[in-house]
A and B are shown apart, each in its own frame.
Chain A
Amino acid sequence: MTLAIPAANPTVDPAADPAAGPAAGPAAGPAPVPRFLPPRPLLPRSGTPRGGAAPGRLAALRAEVRSLERGGARAPGGTGRSLALGVPALDAHLPDGGLPLACLHEIEGALAERDDGAATGFCLALLARLAAARACGPERRPERRPERCLVLWVTPWRDLHAPGLAAFGFDPGRLLLVRAGGTADVLWAMEEGLRCPDLLAVVGEVEGLDRTAGRRLQLAAEVGGVTAFALHRRLRPQRGMAAPSAATTRWRIGPEATDTPHSGLGPARWRAELTRCRGAAPGQWLLEWNDATGGFALAAPLRDGAVALPPLRRRAG
């Protein structure tokens, strides 16, 4: 005896065919579907490129191509598939209007180990924005998934100083540190973390990422829906072209001198170079991290001060 469950489409009346069962839907209509036609039209059936329905179809096709490029990844949490960085010039340059989520990003310093601090600071700034986008403030109610606000930080070194994280608006209580032995262990731990659903992010400190490892991490990030960051820490600067990698974006961060008129140190400033991005051209920006509002700002190289832009609104905490 079959159970007739009302289908989602209200136009189909299952009562008219009670013996068909819950699988009855519009596809089981009396007209047979011809097999030699493709299931969906690849070209717009109606209208010409000058027609009114074309721009909508074109946008839909573009979105479909982009999702195919990304492998059909889904990005739970955050603002859809990307994280708005708060700098319109940068957001317009990146595909999808922000930093793509649920994929691998590689961050390295411009001059190997001397720019470790800058690269780490940039990574933390991105994590702070990710946390703010997920509303990981203090007034969250306790819920079933504490990993929504946790960042897994995998490293073989032990020089990350937790009180320094607060300067970038990142709560050290949200950090889960994993001490791995070598590069193989770091990569394995990153993959395991990427399989845990709904983790805020996974950061791994690696010396170098070869092509296979990068591809595995990218795939794991896409399947799991968790954003991965690979922080490169090399002892010597890399000569020549960097090896091609499977990461969605590659950043090279260099320091930038403070611009304030007084003699103290100003907010953190970086020369961020996007060396590779899937779906966008490389570019270079001068970014400044605004501590109070928790957002990036595009800094002007002159002494007139930073160009202020509306930052991401953060819940009071």
Chain B
Amino acid sequence: MLAAVDAAAAGGGLSPGLPLADARALLPGLRTAAYDPQGNAAALARLAEWCGRYTPWTAVDGCGCDLGGAAGLLLDVTGCSHFFAEEDSDAAVAQGEAGLLADMTARLARLGFTVRAGLAGSVGAAWAVARFDPAAARDAARHATHPWRVVAPGRERVALAALPPAALRLPPATVELLARFGLDRIGALYDLPPARLTPRFGPLLARRLAQALGGAPGAAPEGAGEPISPLRPVPPHLVRHVFAEPVIAPGDIARALDRLLAALARRLEAAGLGARRLELGLYRVDGTLRRFTLGTSRPRRDPARLARLFAPHLERLDPGFGLEVMTLAAAAVEDLAPRQLDLEAGTTASAGGPGGGPRGGPGDGPGEALAALIDRLGARLGLAAVQRPQPRESHLPERAVALTPIVRAPIVQAPIVQAPIARPSGTLGNGVGWSWVGWSWVGWSGAARPHPPRPLRLLPRPEPIETVALLPALLPDRPLAAPPARFRWRRLARRVVRAEGPERIAPEWWRDDPEAAAPARDYFRVEDEDGRRYWLYRSGTQWFLHGLFG
């Protein structure tokens, strides 16, 4: 069964839904390709992203394919037409809208698509006008060069009156029912009260009509009928730059980026904000899109610093045959007070001399050099790769430390704490209590070290070792609480000379974990004949090596 036909095949009498054998009978020289719904959907999503060069508010139109029509996209171009117009008057806006549609359809035709576009004040009207344009049949030549139709604001009623009811995104059953009633134009539905339509055709017809005409009659304000939910979240601040000619040279790209950063900085400064996450979108001539995301540890808007953070990404960029459009968006913003000029230095911090840039300037706040270092590291390795160890309340050594990214655990210089935070926890096998103390920026005091001592290197997974033990004679009441006499780790045999322990660490029974059912561990600090120190433990009858001491 055919899923879609092109213009030549439609002229030959084929239509979607026809069995393939009949189609081949009608047109012997038919060329077919397999129907790939996932591929189509993916391509449509990519196209919607490509349309992000006109507006960030793009969505894939789901209605078209369901109703047997062609695939479609929905774009909200409120306020975007001024890129194609010079002034702000109504005539200029109309001219801008026409220019936008012309540009879009021309580029899509160059990419190989057959496209029709419609622009109106509501989603329903635009959908109808794009797919069911009676003027297209009348004036085929003009339609070939201008495959769009613009409905002026307030003229949806007039524009929709001549269209068939299928333009209202109705299911085929309803359309057939309307045809049987003789309602073959939308204009005929205007005079019928909704109370009469609903019992016969269902509530969908009245709703679609209200959406197409721009809101419920007399109830909601104009255009409030149907929202478009965009594919990607729309950033609050967006600037774009359209190149007159596709650019390839890295110098030109960098200069355009500087201009974009300056424009964004002006907008953010006017609002008193700084960006925490920036997204750079680069639209290539062949229709592909590259996006770079950058996160910073502090809200920033300084163009020079941000340009330096983007530099490694731009080095790795492949512009292909050239870039057409560059967009820069501040996806996450925070309050940032205006920078105060340092009167003594007489200059702001952004003006760094050769080699003085990364060091910051005299006007920097406390910890600015460190924040700049974290930004640079995060730009290449990801902000989650810069971590600080934070203590966690757990007896198990592998869970005792949480490595938190620094953006969530900033370095705060706390005032002096008089006493360390001590939480008694755990008991040794022989009843001696030990305490585990959390640490902070404030620092250690002599009593605040974990006792018994913890190893310097903790293996990610405890490695099983083969042991040879003497007769268990050390502690007569605990026959198995003795360290091994020899053990073999990573194919190297070691002889134990000294040992300390045992230290019993029980599993955390309150966690729903398969490890919580494991037996308790008896840890020993052992030293071999060369002086190396290991942290062994016995779990049940098996011995493991968990860490190395310094």
Contacts and interface: CB of A to CB of B under 8 A. Distances in A.
Interface centre among B440, B441, B531 (most CB of A within 10 A): B531
B443 A120 contact: no
B528 to A, nearest CB: 9
B381 A167 contact: no
Contacts of B376: 192
Contacts of B24: none
Contact of B385 (A152, A171, A179): A179
A122 B550 contact: yes
A147 B373 contact: yes
Nearest to B406: A176
A317 interface: yes
A60 interface: no
B226 to A, nearest CB: 47
Nearest to A269: B531
Interface string B352-365: 00000011000001
14 contacts: A114-B492, A121-B550, A124-B456, A136-B443, A138-B417, A143-B366, A146-B366, A150-B411, A164-B453, A171-B444, A179-B387, A195-B358, A255-B533, A268-B550
Contacts of B411: 146, 150
A23 interface: no
Nearest to B386: A178
Interface of B: 358-359, 365-367, 369-370, 372-373, 376-377, 380-381, 385-389, 391, 397, 400-401, 403, 406, 411, 413, 415-417, 439-446, 448-450, 453-460, 492, 497-500, 525, 527, 529-533, 547-550
B369 A164 contact: no
Contact of B401 (A138, A140, A144, A162): A162
B378 to A, nearest CB: 10
Contacts of B406: 176
A264 B498 contact: yes
A117 B389 CA distance: 19
B369 A159 contact: no
Contacts of A40: none
A165 interface: yes
B380 A158 contact: no
Interface of A: 114-118, 120-122, 124-125, 136-140, 142-147, 150, 152, 158-169, 171-181, 185, 188-189, 192-193, 195-199, 254-258, 263-265, 268-269, 289, 292, 317
Nearest to A223: B355
Contact of A256 (B454, B455, B531): B531
B74 to A, nearest CB: 41
Given A145-B366, A265-B499, 15 more contacts: A116-B548, A117-B550, A136-B443, A138-B442, A147-B367, A161-B457, A165-B456, A166-B439, A167-B449, A180-B381, A195-B359, A196-B373, A265-B525, A265-B527, A317-B443
Contacts of B417: 138
Contacts of B453: 164, 167
Contact of B377 (A143, A160, A192): A192
Which 10 pairs from chain A and chain B are nearest by CB? Answer: A121-B550, A138-B443, A117-B548, A255-B531, A162-B389, A161-B458, A163-B454, A257-B531, A142-B413, A164-B456
B532 A317 contact: no
Given A117-B550, A121-B456, A171-B439, A264 B389 contact: no
Contacts of A136: 443
A255 B529 CA distance: 10
Contacts of B549: 117, 121, 164, 167, 268
B60 to A, nearest CB: 35
Given A185-B380, A265-B500, A138 B416 contact: yes
A287 B401 CA distance: 30
Contacts of B397: 161, 163
A166 B403 CA distance: 17
Given A168-B550, A171-B444, A180-B381, A197 B457 contact: no
B366 A159 contact: no
B388 A176 contact: yes
A189 B381 contact: yes
A176 B449 CA distance: 20
Contacts of B442: 138, 173
A255 B450 CA distance: 23
Interface centre among A120, A158, A164, A169 (most CB of B within 10 A): A164
Given A139-B416, A171-B443, A196 B533 contact: no
Interface centre among A114, A117, A198, A269 (most CB of B within 10 A): A117
B304 to A, nearest CB: 16
A172 to B, nearest CB: 5
Nearest to A255: B531
A256 B391 CA distance: 31
A167 B413 contact: no
Contact of B454 (A138, A139, A161): A161
Contact of B388 (A142, A175, A254): A175
Contacts of A160: 456-458
B460 A158 contact: yes
Given A185-B380, A192-B373, A177 B403 contact: yes
B354 to A, nearest CB: 13
B532 A114 contact: yes
B11 to A, nearest CB: 57
Contacts of B391: 162-163
Contacts of A163: 391, 397, 400-401, 450, 454
A32 B259 CA distance: 51
B405 to A, nearest CB: 10
B460 A159 contact: yes
A125 B550 CA distance: 10
Contacts of A263: 498-499
A317 B547 CA distance: 28
B525 to A, nearest CB: 6
B305 to A, nearest CB: 14
Contacts of A254: 530
Contact of A178 (B385, B441, B444): B385
A118 B457 contact: no
A317 B413 CA distance: 16
Contacts of A147: 367, 369-370, 373
Contacts of B377: 178, 189, 192-193
Interface centre among B366, B373, B459 (most CB of A within 10 A): B373
Contact of B387 (A144, A177, A268): A177
A198 B359 CA distance: 10
A136 B442 CA distance: 10
Contacts of A177: 386-389, 403
Contacts of A189: 377, 380-381
A196 B444 contact: no
A138 B445 CA distance: 8
A104 B8 CA distance: 73
B455 A173 contact: no
A269 B460 CA distance: 26
Contacts of A198: 369
Contacts of A145: 366-367, 369-370
Contact of B381 (A124, A146, A172, A185): A185
B389 A172 contact: yes
Interface centre among B389, B455, B492 (most CB of A within 10 A): B389
Contact of B527 (A169, A172, A192, A257): A257
B457 A120 contact: yes
A295 B342 CA distance: 43
